[in-house]
Amino acid sequence: MNAMSQAPAIPAYLPQGNECALFEMAQKNGLPLLLKGPTGCGKTRFVEHMAAATGRKLYTVACHDDLSAADLIGRYLLKGGETEWVDGPLTRAVREGAICYLDEVVEARKDVTVVLHPLTDNRRTLVIDRTGEELKAPDGFMLVASYNPGYQNILKRLKPSTRQRFLSISFDFPPEKTEIAVVAAESGLEEARVAPLVRLAAKIRSLSGMDLEEGVSTRLLVYAATLIARGMAVPAALEAAVIEPLSDDEDTKSALRDLVAVIY
C-alpha cells in the first residue's frame, strides 16, 4: 500500500432497528444469520455494509433452482488434460474465514441443506465428499442467508430443521422517514421530492385487492428518484420504474396510474 491508497468505501446503510448490533453479536459468536424479508428492502446492502464495516471479505451467491451443493463447495475441472480441484465460494469463505452470503437460499436445490447443516451447528464443519476433506470453520467465518417469506410457495419454504439453526431478523420496507432518507441519499433527489414517491409506495403496499405479487421495493423507488433527479418527467419515471416493473396486467397498471394521479 502506498501513502495515497485508501480503505475501500463502506457501502451506505441506514439501520431499521438493532440489526447491526445483532450481526456483530452473531459474527463474534460464530452463529449463522438468516435475513427474512421482501425483495429490494435492503438485505443485501446490509450484508455488504456489515462485511466492509467489520473488515471481512464477502462471498455472495445468488441462489437459483439449479444451484447445487457442488456449485457452493467446488468441483474437479479439466485443465490442460489434468483434473484439478477448484473451490466453490462457500469453501473459499470457510478457508479464508470470510462471510458467505446465500441470497434467496430457498431457491437452491435440496442437497445444499445437507451441506449447510454441519456448518450451522456447533460442528461448524464443511464436509467435502469429493476430496475427503473436513474443514473446520475458523472464527472469522460467518454464514448469512436470506429468503423472502412473501412468496407463498409451499415447496419453497425453509424446513424447520434448517431455519432453527440460524439467528433470524425480519426485514421490511423502512418506516417513512428512513425510506425518504435512504432514497434521497441513494438517488441525489432532494427529500421534499422523494416524499411523494414514498407516500405512493405506502399506498401501493397497502393494497391487498390488486393483482400484485409484492409491493413496490425501496430499490424501485431509488430507480424512480434517480430518473427524476436526472431530469426525467415524473410520470415517465414512474411508468418505467414503478408501474411496468410491478405488473404485466393492463387493469392493474391502470389502477396503479390512478394511484399516481391521486398523489401527483
What is the binding site for ligand ADP (CB under 6 A)? 12-14, 37, 39-45, 174, 182, 186, 218-219, 222
Q: Which is nearer to ligand ADP, 47 or 69 (CB)?
A: 47
Q: Which of 42, 40, 47, 43 is nearest to 213 (CA)?
A: 40
Q: Which is nearer to ligand ADP, 55 or 188 (CB)?
A: 188
Beta carbons of 243 and 256 less than 8 angstroms apart: yes
Eight-class DSSP state of 210: S
Strands 33-36 and 167-170 come out as parallel
Give the count of beta carbons closer than 10 Å to the beta carbon of residue 156. Answer: 14
Given phi > 0 = left and psi -120 to 50 = alpha, else beta, which region is 85? beta
Q: Which is nearer to ligand ADP, 44 or 162 (CB)?
A: 44
CB 38 to ligand ADP: min, Å: 7
CB 200 to ligand ADP: min, Å: 16
CB 24 to ligand ADP: min, Å: 17
DSSP per residue over 73-127, as a string? HEEEEEETTEEEEEE-HHHHHHHHT-EEEEETGGGS-THHHHHHHHHHSTT-EEE
Q: Which of 60, 69, 73 is nearest to 144 (CA)?
A: 60
Q: Which is nearer to ligand ADP, 55 or 150 (CB)?
A: 150
Q: Which is nearer to ligand ADP, 36 or 124 (CB)?
A: 36
Q: Nearest-CB residue to ligand ADP?
A: 42
CB 237 to ligand ADP: min, Å: 16
CB 232 to ligand ADP: min, Å: 18
